Amino acid sequence: MELCSFLTLDSFITDPLTHDFMRKALLMSSLVAAVCGFLSSYLTLKGWALMGDAVSHSVMPGVVVAYALGLPFSLGAFIFGVGSVALIGFIKQKSRVKEDTVIGLVFTGFFALGIVLVSKIKSNIDLHSILFGSPLGISLSDVKQTIFISLLVVILLSIFRKDLMLYCFDPRHAKTVGINVFFLHYLLLTCLSLAAVVGLQSVGIILVVAMLITPGATAYLLTDKFDNMTVISVLSAIISSLIGIYVSFWFDLETGGSIVLAQTFIFLFAFLFAPRYGIFKLKKLFAGYK
Protein backbone atom coordinates (compact mmCIF):
# COMPACT_ATOMS: atom_id res chain seq x y z
CA MET A 1 0.00 0.00 0.00
CA GLU A 2 1.29 3.44 -0.92
CA LEU A 3 0.68 5.17 2.34
CA CYS A 4 2.89 8.09 1.42
CA SER A 5 0.27 9.13 -1.15
CA PHE A 6 -2.05 9.88 1.74
CA LEU A 7 -0.05 12.91 2.71
CA THR A 8 -2.38 15.23 0.83
CA LEU A 9 -6.10 14.89 0.36
CA ASP A 10 -5.56 16.14 -3.14
CA SER A 11 -3.52 13.15 -4.20
CA PHE A 12 -5.90 10.83 -2.33
CA ILE A 13 -8.59 11.92 -4.74
CA THR A 14 -6.64 12.59 -7.94
CA ASP A 15 -4.16 9.70 -8.00
CA PRO A 16 -6.79 7.02 -8.73
CA LEU A 17 -8.14 9.19 -11.52
CA THR A 18 -4.94 8.69 -13.50
CA HIS A 19 -6.01 5.08 -14.06
CA ASP A 20 -8.42 4.48 -16.90
CA PHE A 21 -10.18 1.61 -15.11
CA MET A 22 -10.79 3.80 -12.04
CA ARG A 23 -12.35 6.59 -14.08
CA LYS A 24 -14.61 4.06 -15.71
CA ALA A 25 -15.50 2.43 -12.39
CA LEU A 26 -16.33 5.76 -10.76
CA LEU A 27 -18.49 6.84 -13.66
CA MET A 28 -20.32 3.51 -13.97
CA SER A 29 -20.90 3.08 -10.27
CA SER A 30 -22.27 6.60 -9.91
CA LEU A 31 -24.67 5.95 -12.76
CA VAL A 32 -25.80 2.65 -11.27
CA ALA A 33 -26.13 4.29 -7.87
CA ALA A 34 -28.30 7.04 -9.33
CA VAL A 35 -30.63 4.52 -10.97
CA CYS A 36 -30.89 2.26 -7.93
CA GLY A 37 -31.23 5.24 -5.60
CA PHE A 38 -34.10 6.67 -7.64
CA LEU A 39 -35.92 3.35 -7.66
CA SER A 40 -35.11 2.77 -4.03
CA SER A 41 -37.52 5.47 -2.79
CA TYR A 42 -40.40 3.70 -4.51
CA LEU A 43 -39.44 0.24 -3.25
CA THR A 44 -39.07 1.50 0.31
CA LEU A 45 -42.50 3.12 0.29
CA LYS A 46 -44.21 0.27 -1.54
CA GLY A 47 -42.76 -2.24 0.93
CA TRP A 48 -41.06 -4.13 -1.85
CA ALA A 49 -37.68 -4.74 -0.22
CA LEU A 50 -38.19 -8.48 -0.36
CA MET A 51 -39.33 -8.18 -3.97
CA GLY A 52 -36.07 -6.37 -4.77
CA ASP A 53 -34.17 -9.19 -3.12
CA ALA A 54 -36.12 -11.75 -5.14
CA VAL A 55 -35.72 -10.08 -8.51
CA SER A 56 -32.01 -9.37 -8.10
CA HIS A 57 -31.30 -13.01 -7.24
CA SER A 58 -33.63 -14.38 -9.90
CA VAL A 59 -31.76 -12.67 -12.75
CA MET A 60 -28.79 -15.04 -12.16
CA PRO A 61 -29.84 -17.90 -14.49
CA GLY A 62 -30.85 -15.30 -17.09
CA VAL A 63 -27.35 -13.86 -17.07
CA VAL A 64 -25.78 -17.30 -17.45
CA VAL A 65 -28.10 -18.42 -20.26
CA ALA A 66 -27.63 -15.14 -22.11
CA TYR A 67 -23.84 -15.49 -21.91
CA ALA A 68 -24.04 -19.06 -23.16
CA LEU A 69 -26.21 -18.04 -26.12
CA GLY A 70 -24.19 -14.96 -26.90
CA LEU A 71 -27.06 -12.58 -26.15
CA PRO A 72 -26.76 -9.36 -24.17
CA PHE A 73 -26.97 -10.48 -20.56
CA SER A 74 -29.41 -7.70 -19.74
CA LEU A 75 -31.97 -9.42 -21.93
CA GLY A 76 -31.66 -12.75 -20.13
CA ALA A 77 -31.66 -11.04 -16.76
CA PHE A 78 -34.73 -9.04 -17.65
CA ILE A 79 -36.71 -12.12 -18.77
CA PHE A 80 -35.87 -14.06 -15.64
CA GLY A 81 -36.42 -11.05 -13.37
CA VAL A 82 -39.93 -10.39 -14.63
CA GLY A 83 -40.56 -14.16 -14.97
CA SER A 84 -39.78 -14.72 -11.30
CA VAL A 85 -42.29 -12.07 -10.28
CA ALA A 86 -44.96 -13.58 -12.53
CA LEU A 87 -44.25 -17.00 -11.02
CA ILE A 88 -44.45 -15.59 -7.50
CA GLY A 89 -47.84 -14.07 -8.34
CA PHE A 90 -49.06 -17.31 -9.89
CA ILE A 91 -48.05 -19.57 -7.00
CA LYS A 92 -49.45 -17.13 -4.46
CA GLN A 93 -52.79 -17.05 -6.25
CA LYS A 94 -53.08 -20.79 -6.79
CA SER A 95 -51.91 -22.07 -3.42
CA ARG A 96 -52.44 -21.36 0.26
CA VAL A 97 -48.75 -20.63 0.86
CA LYS A 98 -48.13 -17.10 2.19
CA GLU A 99 -46.51 -14.49 -0.02
CA ASP A 100 -43.17 -14.07 1.79
CA THR A 101 -42.71 -17.82 1.74
CA VAL A 102 -43.45 -17.96 -1.99
CA ILE A 103 -41.01 -15.12 -2.66
CA GLY A 104 -38.32 -16.88 -0.64
CA LEU A 105 -38.72 -20.21 -2.35
CA VAL A 106 -38.96 -18.85 -5.89
CA PHE A 107 -35.89 -16.63 -5.77
CA THR A 108 -33.66 -19.19 -4.04
CA GLY A 109 -34.79 -21.72 -6.65
CA PHE A 110 -33.87 -19.38 -9.50
CA PHE A 111 -30.59 -18.49 -7.84
CA ALA A 112 -29.67 -22.15 -7.35
CA LEU A 113 -30.53 -22.82 -10.99
CA GLY A 114 -28.10 -20.07 -11.95
CA ILE A 115 -25.29 -21.53 -9.88
CA VAL A 116 -25.87 -25.02 -11.26
CA LEU A 117 -25.90 -23.65 -14.81
CA VAL A 118 -22.61 -21.85 -14.28
CA SER A 119 -20.97 -25.07 -13.16
CA LYS A 120 -22.37 -27.00 -16.11
CA ILE A 121 -21.97 -24.56 -18.99
CA LYS A 122 -18.31 -24.40 -19.95
CA SER A 123 -17.70 -20.75 -20.63
CA ASN A 124 -15.61 -17.87 -19.50
CA ILE A 125 -18.26 -16.66 -17.05
CA ASP A 126 -16.63 -15.64 -13.85
CA LEU A 127 -18.99 -16.69 -11.07
CA HIS A 128 -17.16 -14.48 -8.62
CA SER A 129 -17.74 -11.36 -10.70
CA ILE A 130 -21.45 -12.08 -11.04
CA LEU A 131 -21.86 -12.69 -7.34
CA PHE A 132 -19.70 -9.85 -6.08
CA GLY A 133 -19.45 -7.44 -9.01
CA SER A 134 -16.37 -6.22 -10.83
CA PRO A 135 -16.61 -2.48 -11.28
CA LEU A 136 -12.85 -2.26 -11.86
CA GLY A 137 -12.99 -4.63 -14.83
CA ILE A 138 -15.84 -3.21 -16.92
CA SER A 139 -15.55 -3.70 -20.67
CA LEU A 140 -16.50 -1.07 -23.23
CA SER A 141 -19.64 -2.92 -24.36
CA ASP A 142 -20.70 -3.19 -20.72
CA VAL A 143 -20.21 0.54 -20.36
CA LYS A 144 -22.46 1.27 -23.33
CA GLN A 145 -25.09 -1.17 -22.09
CA THR A 146 -25.04 0.26 -18.58
CA ILE A 147 -25.41 3.81 -19.88
CA PHE A 148 -28.29 2.81 -22.15
CA ILE A 149 -30.24 0.89 -19.50
CA SER A 150 -29.63 3.52 -16.84
CA LEU A 151 -30.89 6.30 -19.05
CA LEU A 152 -33.93 4.24 -20.01
CA VAL A 153 -34.87 3.60 -16.38
CA VAL A 154 -34.27 7.19 -15.31
CA ILE A 155 -36.42 8.50 -18.18
CA LEU A 156 -39.24 6.05 -17.43
CA LEU A 157 -39.19 6.83 -13.71
CA SER A 158 -39.11 10.57 -14.41
CA ILE A 159 -42.08 10.48 -16.75
CA PHE A 160 -44.21 8.37 -14.41
CA ARG A 161 -42.78 9.81 -11.20
CA LYS A 162 -46.09 11.10 -9.84
CA ASP A 163 -48.19 8.18 -11.03
CA LEU A 164 -45.80 5.76 -9.37
CA MET A 165 -45.96 7.78 -6.17
CA LEU A 166 -49.76 7.57 -6.28
CA TYR A 167 -49.56 3.86 -7.07
CA CYS A 168 -47.38 3.26 -4.01
CA PHE A 169 -49.54 5.48 -1.80
CA ASP A 170 -53.11 4.63 -2.80
CA PRO A 171 -53.56 2.21 -5.75
CA ARG A 172 -57.31 2.11 -5.17
CA HIS A 173 -57.64 5.83 -5.81
CA ALA A 174 -55.40 5.52 -8.87
CA LYS A 175 -57.72 2.87 -10.28
CA THR A 176 -60.85 4.85 -9.40
CA VAL A 177 -59.71 7.88 -11.39
CA GLY A 178 -58.86 5.80 -14.45
CA ILE A 179 -55.08 5.48 -14.06
CA ASN A 180 -53.70 2.19 -15.42
CA VAL A 181 -52.54 0.45 -12.24
CA PHE A 182 -51.64 -2.76 -14.05
CA PHE A 183 -49.24 -0.83 -16.26
CA LEU A 184 -47.64 0.96 -13.29
CA HIS A 185 -47.18 -2.33 -11.44
CA TYR A 186 -45.27 -3.87 -14.32
CA LEU A 187 -43.43 -0.64 -15.05
CA LEU A 188 -42.04 -0.70 -11.52
CA LEU A 189 -41.13 -4.38 -11.83
CA THR A 190 -39.45 -3.80 -15.20
CA CYS A 191 -37.40 -0.94 -13.79
CA LEU A 192 -36.51 -3.15 -10.83
CA SER A 193 -35.23 -5.93 -13.12
CA LEU A 194 -33.25 -3.46 -15.21
CA ALA A 195 -31.76 -1.83 -12.12
CA ALA A 196 -30.76 -5.25 -10.82
CA VAL A 197 -28.98 -5.89 -14.11
CA VAL A 198 -26.91 -2.71 -14.01
CA GLY A 199 -26.35 -2.98 -10.27
CA LEU A 200 -25.02 -6.48 -10.71
CA GLN A 201 -21.98 -5.03 -12.40
CA SER A 202 -20.82 -2.77 -9.65
CA VAL A 203 -21.75 -4.67 -6.51
CA GLY A 204 -22.85 -8.09 -7.79
CA ILE A 205 -26.03 -10.07 -7.42
CA ILE A 206 -25.76 -10.67 -3.69
CA LEU A 207 -25.31 -7.05 -2.71
CA VAL A 208 -27.37 -5.30 -5.37
CA VAL A 209 -30.40 -5.52 -3.13
CA ALA A 210 -28.59 -3.17 -0.74
CA MET A 211 -28.34 -0.61 -3.55
CA LEU A 212 -32.10 -0.94 -4.00
CA ILE A 213 -33.09 -0.72 -0.33
CA THR A 214 -30.58 1.21 1.76
CA PRO A 215 -30.59 4.63 0.00
CA GLY A 216 -34.39 4.80 0.14
CA ALA A 217 -34.44 3.81 3.80
CA THR A 218 -31.82 6.45 4.62
CA ALA A 219 -33.78 9.15 2.78
CA TYR A 220 -37.03 8.06 4.47
CA LEU A 221 -35.48 8.92 7.85
CA LEU A 222 -34.39 12.35 6.68
CA THR A 223 -37.46 13.92 5.07
CA ASP A 224 -41.24 14.11 4.94
CA LYS A 225 -41.38 15.19 1.30
CA PHE A 226 -41.40 12.67 -1.50
CA ASP A 227 -39.34 14.74 -3.94
CA ASN A 228 -36.66 15.40 -1.33
CA MET A 229 -36.65 11.72 -0.51
CA THR A 230 -35.79 10.85 -4.12
CA VAL A 231 -33.01 13.44 -4.26
CA ILE A 232 -31.49 12.36 -0.93
CA SER A 233 -31.74 8.73 -1.93
CA VAL A 234 -29.90 9.30 -5.21
CA LEU A 235 -27.23 11.50 -3.60
CA SER A 236 -26.54 9.10 -0.75
CA ALA A 237 -26.24 6.23 -3.25
CA ILE A 238 -23.77 8.17 -5.43
CA ILE A 239 -21.70 9.38 -2.47
CA SER A 240 -21.41 5.87 -1.06
CA SER A 241 -20.35 4.52 -4.44
CA LEU A 242 -17.57 7.09 -4.66
CA ILE A 243 -16.46 6.48 -1.06
CA GLY A 244 -16.58 2.72 -1.58
CA ILE A 245 -14.46 2.80 -4.72
CA TYR A 246 -11.82 5.12 -3.26
CA VAL A 247 -11.57 3.16 -0.06
CA SER A 248 -11.31 -0.11 -1.94
CA PHE A 249 -8.57 1.36 -4.14
CA TRP A 250 -6.41 2.66 -1.32
CA PHE A 251 -6.89 -0.17 1.10
CA ASP A 252 -7.14 -2.95 -1.46
CA LEU A 253 -10.61 -4.06 -0.37
CA GLU A 254 -13.46 -5.79 -2.23
CA THR A 255 -15.17 -2.96 -4.14
CA GLY A 256 -18.80 -4.10 -4.05
CA GLY A 257 -18.62 -4.75 -0.34
CA SER A 258 -17.02 -1.37 0.30
CA ILE A 259 -19.76 0.45 -1.59
CA VAL A 260 -22.52 -1.27 0.35
CA LEU A 261 -20.72 -0.76 3.66
CA ALA A 262 -20.47 2.95 2.91
CA GLN A 263 -24.25 2.98 2.33
CA THR A 264 -24.81 1.14 5.57
CA PHE A 265 -22.72 3.68 7.49
CA ILE A 266 -24.68 6.56 5.96
CA PHE A 267 -27.89 4.82 6.99
CA LEU A 268 -26.60 4.33 10.54
CA PHE A 269 -25.69 8.00 10.70
CA ALA A 270 -29.25 8.94 9.64
CA PHE A 271 -30.66 6.39 12.08
CA LEU A 272 -28.80 7.99 14.95
CA PHE A 273 -28.84 11.69 14.05
CA ALA A 274 -31.74 12.35 11.65
CA PRO A 275 -33.35 15.69 12.64
CA ARG A 276 -36.85 14.30 13.23
CA TYR A 277 -36.65 10.55 13.16
CA GLY A 278 -33.15 9.85 14.47
CA ILE A 279 -32.52 8.40 17.91
CA PHE A 280 -30.64 11.50 19.03
CA LYS A 281 -32.66 14.02 16.95
CA LEU A 282 -30.00 16.57 15.94
CA LYS A 283 -32.58 19.34 15.77
CA LYS A 284 -33.18 19.10 19.51
CA LEU A 285 -29.45 19.13 20.23
CA PHE A 286 -29.00 22.31 18.18
CA ALA A 287 -32.13 23.86 19.64
CA GLY A 288 -30.29 24.05 22.96
CA TYR A 289 -27.81 26.55 21.55
CA LYS A 290 -30.32 28.98 20.15
Partner 1 sequence: METINYQNFRIEAENICVDYNGKVALYDANLRLKPGQICGLVGMNGAGKTTFFNALTGFVNISKGKIRINGESVRSAQKDQTIAYVPQNEGIDSQFPISVWDVVMMGRYGSMNIFRSPRESDVQAVKDAIERVDLTDHLSTPIGNLSGGQRKRTFLARAIAQRASILLLDEPFSGVDIRTEKLISELFIEFKNEGKTILLSTHDMIHVREFCDLVLLINKTVVAYGETSEVFTPENITTTFGGISPDFLFGPES
Q: Give the interface with partner 1 as residue ranges (CB under 8 A).
A: 45, 93-94, 159, 162-163, 165-166, 168-179, 220, 223-226, 228-229
Q: Which is nearer to partner 1, 42 or 111 (CB)?
A: 42
Element (H, E) at 18: none
Q: How far is the CB of 94 from partner 1 (least distance, A)?
A: 8
Q: What is the CA radius of gyration of the chain?
A: 20
For partner 1, which is the closer residue by CB, 19 or 283?
Answer: 283
Closer of 1 and 177 to partner 1 (Cβ):
177
- CB nearer to partner 1: pick between 184 and 245: 184
Name the minimum Å distance from CB 170 to partner 1. Answer: 6
Q: Which of residues 169 and 265 has its CB atom nearest to partner 1 in the complex?
A: 169
Distance CA 107, CA 203 (A): 19
| Shortest Å distance, C-beta 186 to partner 1 | 17
Count Cβ atoms below 10 Å from residue 60 Cβ, excluding itself. Answer: 29
For 78-138, give the DSSP string: HHHHHHHHHHHHHHHHHSSS-HHHHHHHHHHHHHHHHHHHHHHS-SS--HHHHHH--GGG-
Count of C-beta atoms within a 10 Å radius of residue 39: 31
CA nearest 74: which of 35, 108, 48? 35
Q: How far is the CB of 156 from partner 1 (least distance, A)?
A: 12
Q: What is the number of residues in the chain?
A: 290
For residue 34, the minimal CB distance to partner 1 (Å) is 20
Q: Which CB, 204 or 216, lies closer to partner 1? A: 216
Spatial separation of the C-alpha atoms in residues 189 and 175, rounded to whole Å: 18
- Region of 70 on the Ramachandran plot (φ > 0 left; ψ -120 to 50 alpha; else beta): left
Give the count of beta carbons closer than 10 Å to the beta carbon of residue 136.
17
Minimum gap (Å) between residue 184 Cβ and partner 1: 12
- Residue 8 or 176: the one with the smaller Cβ distance to partner 1 is 176
Q: Which is nearer to partner 1, 56 or 223 (CB)?
A: 223
H or E element in which residue 277 lies = none
C-beta of 148: minimal distance to partner 1 in Å? 23
- CA–CA gap between residue 6 and residue 265 (Å, rounded): 22
Taking the complex as a whole, the smallest distance from the CB of residue 215 to partner 1 amounts, in Å, to: 14
